[in-house]
Amino acid sequence: MAVIVHERTGTFHLTNDAVSYVFRVMENHQMEHLYYGAKIHDRESFDHLHEETMRSQMSISSPEPSLLSMQYTKQEMPVYGTGDYREPALVIRQENGSRISDFQYQGYRISNGKKSLLPLPATYTNEDSDAETLEVILYDALSETELILSYTIFAALPVITRHTEITQKGTQSVVLERVMSMSCEWNDAEFDLVTLDGGWARERYIHRRPLASGIQGVLGLNGTCSGAEHNPFLALMRPDATEQSGEVYGLNLIYSGNHLDQAEVSTFDMTRVMMGIHPQNFEWNLQTGESFISPEAVMVYSRAGLGEMSRTFHSLYQNHLVRGKYKNEVRPILLNNWEATYFDFNEEKLLNIAAKAKEAGVELFVLDDGWFGARNDDYRGLGDWYVNLQKLPSGISGLSKKIEDMGLKFGLWVELEMVNKDSDLYRSHPDWIIGTEGRFESHARHQHVLDYSKPEVVDYIYEMIAKVIRESSISYIKWDMNRYMTEPGNGEVMHRYMLGVYDLYQRLTSEFPDILFESCASGGARFDAGMLYFAPQAWTSDDTDANERRKIQYGTSLVYPVASMGSHVSAVPNHQLFRKTPIESRANIACFGTFGYELDLNLLSDAEIEAVKRQVQFMKKYRRLIQVEGKLYRLISPFPAVNRTNAESGNEMAWAVVSPDRKTALAAFYQRLNKVNASWLRLKLDGLNPDILYRITWNDAAGVEAGEETAVDMKSYEAYGDELMHAGIPIDRILLNRKGGDFASVLYEVEAVE
Ligand code: DGJ
């Protein structure tokens, strides 16, 4: 792995075993992008990859007889106003009102490893040899502004990360109006665009469509989180690329606020992709000596389809983004009381639920919303982070002690960025909410956003919640956030708000390093890499229906590791969809995640409790494979556009995790609706060793809902890896009938025969 610099030709080549990224200083002293893709040999000059020709109406930005036009030149950080009529990546307003800049090459620095971007989250190296960083220094003389383009190439992964740093070196004050974290260009547009989109309770559905002329992409504008509507992710896939093959470029922003994720196809069918903080309502004032650092963008290259892209993201995030005690550690099996009680609980009820959970083998009891202030519904109490002694007479300290005495760990829900107007906090600090004087204060879920752009607000909340944690035995915190921002005061507020959130996360995770944090935002509206830096897992969705979760977790897995997906078995009929699914299927989807329960186990039948006990044991046996060591192979997509099998579009779904030595795997097959007199279906595995003989084992018994005596009847057969991958496992339709028909599923344990 190396950053190669050819001084004579001004050429930079970032390369490792898999990838090459090449750019150079061009004749106008700006940075020209030349190539990004599969590894190519190094050359002192790649000048021949610069293409230019005389075109009508082109503006030339170098003295005659040059033909250098920004209109068709690929650039590393395109700016406004000198003949490039596409969208710029950087716009700086100067004192005279001009937005033109001309960033000229000054020099470069190379360092081993990579530096921290705190307070912004970013990927990191464990050893200096994990990555190399190149900083290219540019300067615009007229605005006296320095621009540093930072690139890190990882040694063992096809990953390049980028961010942008701007410093006012002179005496003027300038206003940053648009600062992208990265911009990259290709001189063709033969791509499909893939994005992860949705809304509350249907987060991160996969969409794939051909790139078209003009601008397309996604955004997040809600201020408080990356959003359920669009994830800060996009991928460019060659039209013939699939889950398993073909060229894919995946891009992800390590940020939890407003984002722009955009592709533009120009008049010459070139593609420009950029990613960064969305410029809507963004402005950043820079005075002498001040700097602005953009969030980091991650660029993943794959020559083996979406699957390989995802495994690269997973590996990067598990090893170079997630921090703390739970990095590469199995997650406790929890029971959360939200869907069991909502706000209607007292200590006795909670202890009763916890006792049954303990009996079933659960390890962590989580107390959700409603334990503090006057919080008996969602109209009041947010902001008053002290216990409601009427509900919980022994306080959180007493309750957590009682839970621990049962042999369980204790976890607590918080929503630290919000306030209800009916709260002591709002009554004493009405000026602490985000708003604009004279404007109506929009509300959502009866709550308002605390102004975390003010350090005194962050300090106050930190002290209040740290006191609760210090006085109790807390092993886990669910950090919720349930509304979007409105009436933001000025162009700096939204980004400063996010920096305040990150600051609070950093302070709490530093003071309480043993606590497992799970982020949450009305379900999965904050499922982003920014959050993963502080909280290694995130509540994937408020939709806990097993059938819906197939899609949500499958889509989420495009970028984020299995271990990051908060996933629980909940009651039937499901509270969001009123649907009944077999308890076996609910567990079979939840086990591809952090795994837990979100119901009162006291209300289950004896047979169901026996099933729960088996599920917990199963998860304890397999969680290291699922959450820490295994690689994820998606086998059948619930999204028709990315299917590759003869499964009827969207009705079936399957995936598997495979151990690094390829001796153990766990595959799951799920169906939506049952079929009568159906065609044959084989489940073709992936990632196995073709030459190893495996034993495939599954539970052939009917689901407990069928009321049979035994719900365990393990069956198995042996087959080589090549057979399992190419001939596949025949799916037994009759077994699916016995397991409940609609929404039935089967887990296959795959173990190498000694
Ligand atoms: C929204 C979360 O997504 C739910 O899991 C739950 O914690 C509620 N908030 C509590 O108000």
Q: What is the pLDDT of residue 604?
A: 97
Report pLDDT digits (tens) over 100-145.
999 999 999 999 999 999 999 999 999 999 999 999 999 999 999 9
- pLDDT, average across residues 239-263: 97
What is the number of the ligand 1 atom nearest to the C-alpha of 520? 3
**Atom of ligand 1 lying closest to residue 539 CA:** 3
- Give the C-alpha separation, 403 to 355, whole Å: 8
- Of 203, 337, 368, the residue with max ligand 1 atoms within 8 A of its CB, to mutate for a pocket test, comes to 368
* Nearest Cα residue to 728 out of 697, 682, 670: 682
Q: What is the mean pLDDT of residues 263-272?
A: 97
- pLDDT of residue 649 exceeding 80, the answer is no
pLDDT band at 706 (very low <50, low <70, confident <90, very high): confident
pLDDT at 644 over 60: no
| Encoded tokens for 625 | 């494979």
Render pLDDT for 382-415 as a digit per residue (tens, 0 to 9).
999 999 999 999 999 999 999 999 999 999 999 9
**Cβ distance 495 to 456 under 8 Å?**
no
Instruction: Please report the pLDDT score of residue 642 as a whole number.
Output: 64
Q: Is the per-residue pLDDT at 375 higher than 90?
A: yes
Using CA atoms, how far apart are residues 441 and 380, in angstroms rounded to an integer? Answer: 17
Alpha-carbon distance of 307 to 286, in angstroms, equals: 42
**Best probe residue, ligand 1, of 337, 445, 482, 568 (max atoms within 8 Å of C-beta):** 482
Cβ(639)–Cβ(616) below 8 Å: no
What's the gap in Å between 340 CA and the centre of ligand 1?
A: 12
Beta strands 537-539 and 516-519 are parallel
Contact 506/530 with Cβ under 8 angstroms? no
Give the residue among 391, 306, 404, 403 at the shortest CA–CA distance from 342: 391
**One-letter amino acid for residue 738 of the chain:** R
| pLDDT at residue 497, rounded to an integer | 98
For residue 689 the two structure tokens come to 């060793």
571: amino acid identity, one letter: A
State residue 257's pLDDT score: 98
- Cα of 680 to ligand 1 centre, how many Å? 42
Q: At residue 116, what is the residue type?
A: S
> To which H or E segment does residue 617 belong?
helix 606-623
Write out pLDDT tens, residues 551-563: 999 999 999 999 9
Tell me the sheet residues that pair with 131. 154
Task: Evaluate whether 633 touches 666 at the Cβ level (below 8 Å).
Answer: no
Mean pLDDT over residues 404-432, rounded? 98
Cα-to-centroid distance, 370 and ligand 1 (Å):
10
Q: What residue has token string 């971007």?
A: 117
Residue 380 DSSP class: B
Q: State the helix-helix crossing angle for 395-405 and 347-360, rounded to 10 degrees.
A: 30
Best of 200, 202, 342, 539 for a ligand 1 pocket test (most atoms within 8 Å of beta carbon): 539
Atom of ligand 1 nearest to the CA of 478: 7
Atom from ligand 1 closest to the CA of residue 378: 11
**What is the best residue among 376, 476, 484, 520 to mutate for testing ligand 1's pocket, by most ligand atoms within 8 Å of CB?**
520
Distance CA 677, CA 351 (A): 49
Residue 240: what are its φ and ψ, rounded to 5°?
-90, 5
- Residue 680 predicted with pLDDT over 60: yes
Looking only at the bridges linking them, the beta strands covering 145-154 and 259-265 are: unpaired
Q: What is the pLDDT of residue 640?
A: 76
Strands (E), 155-247: 159-168, 174-186, 192-199, 202-210, 214-220, 233-237
* Residue identifier of the C-alpha nearest atom 10 of ligand 1: 369
What's the pLDDT tens digit per position in 541-552?
999 999 999 999
Please give the distance, rounded to the nearest whole angstrom, from the Cα atom of residue 448 to the centre of ligand 1. 16
Is the separation of the CB atoms in 518 and 476 below 8 Å? Answer: yes
CA distance 735 to 709: 16
- Rounded CA-CA distance 30/536 in Å is 40
Reported as a single tens digit per residue, the pLDDT across 199-226 is 999 999 999 999 999 999 999 999 999 9
Dihedral class, residue 407 (left if φ above 0, else alpha if ψ from -120 to 50, else beta): left
Pocket test for ligand 1, best of 200, 367, 369, 531 (most atoms within 8 A of CB): 369
Instruction: For residue 676, give both structure tokens.
Output: 């009568």
Where do we find the tokens 């390049």?
160
Diameter of the chain measured on Cα atoms: 89
Residue 648: per-residue pLDDT: 57
User: Any idea which of 185-199, 616-630, 634-648, 711-725 has the lowest mean pLDDT?
Assistant: 634-648
Q: Give 260's strand partners.
A: 219, 276
Taking each helix axis as running N to C, give the angle between helix 583-590 and helix 606-623, from 0 to 180 degrees, rounded to the nearest 10. Answer: 20
Determine the distance separating the centroid of ligand 1 and the alpha carbon of 220, expressed in angstroms. 21
Average of per-residue pLDDT across 5-10: 98
Query: Which of 506, 495, 449, 557 is CA-nearest to residue 256?
Result: 495
| Contact (Cβ atoms closer than 8 angstroms) between residue 4 and residue 22 | no
Three-class secondary structure of residue 383 per DSSP = coil
For residues 23 and 162, what is the distance between their CA atoms, to the nearest angstrom? Answer: 14
- Burial of 318: CB neighbours in 10 Å, binned 0-12, 13-18, 19+: buried
Tell me what the mean pLDDT of segment 468-490 comes to: 97
What mean pLDDT is predicted for residues 518-536?
Answer: 98
Active-site annotation, residues: 480, 542
Helix, strand or coil, per DSSP, at residue 451: coil
Residue at 540: amino acid letter: T
Average the pLDDT over 355-363 and give the result.
Answer: 98
Determine which residue's CA is closest to atom 1 belonging to ligand 1.
Answer: 522
Q: Which residue's CA is the closest to the ligand 1 atom numbered 11? A: 369
Nearest atom in ligand 1 to 368's CA: 7
Q: Determine the distance separating the centroid of ligand 1 and the alpha carbon of 415, expressed in angstroms.
A: 9
Of 582, 578, 574, nearest in space to 612 by CA: 582
CA of 198 to the centre of ligand 1 (A): 18
Within a 10 A sphere around the Cβ of 54, how many other Cβ atoms?
A: 8
pLDDT score at 1: 65
pLDDT at 586 over 70: yes
For residue 561, give both structure tokens: 């590791």
Q: What is the pLDDT of residues 284-312, one digit of tens each?
A: 999 999 999 999 999 999 999 999 999 99
**Span from the CA of 751 to the centroid of ligand 1 (angstroms):** 39
List 176's β-bridge partners, or say none.
92, 284
Q: How many CB atoms lie within 10 A of CB 74?
A: 25
Q: Which two tokens stand for residue 134?
A: 């190149």
Long-range contacts: 400-405, Cβ < 8 Å, 24+? 400/472, 400/473, 400/474, 401/472, 401/473, 402/347, 402/351, 403/351, 403/354, 403/365, 403/473, 404/473
What pTM did the predictor assign? 0.98
- Three-state DSSP at 612 gives helix
For ligand 1, atom 9, the nearest C-alpha belongs to: 522
Residues with CB under 6 A from ligand 1: 338, 368-369, 413, 480, 482, 520, 522-523, 539, 542
Task: Name residues whose C-beta falls within 8 Å of residue 681's C-beta, 6 or more positions apart in sequence.
Answer: 646, 647, 652, 730, 731, 733
Distance 377 CA to ligand 1 centre (A): 12
Which of the 8 DSSP states describes residue 626? I
Q: Taking a C-beta distance cutoff of 8 angstroms, is the pair 33, 76 a contact?
A: yes
Label each residue of 681-725 as H, E or C.
Answer: CEECCCCCCCCCEEEEEEECCCCHHHCCCCCCCEEEEEEEHHHHH
* Tokens linked to 375: 């919080």
Residue owning tokens 């304890």: 620
Instruction: Annotate 76-127 with DSSP letters as a single string.
Output: SS-BSSSS--S--SEEEE-TTS------EEEEEEEEES----TTS-----SS
- Nearest-atom number in ligand 1 for the CA of 413 is 7
| Average pLDDT over all residues of the chain | 96
Nearest atom (ligand 1) to Cα of 521: 3
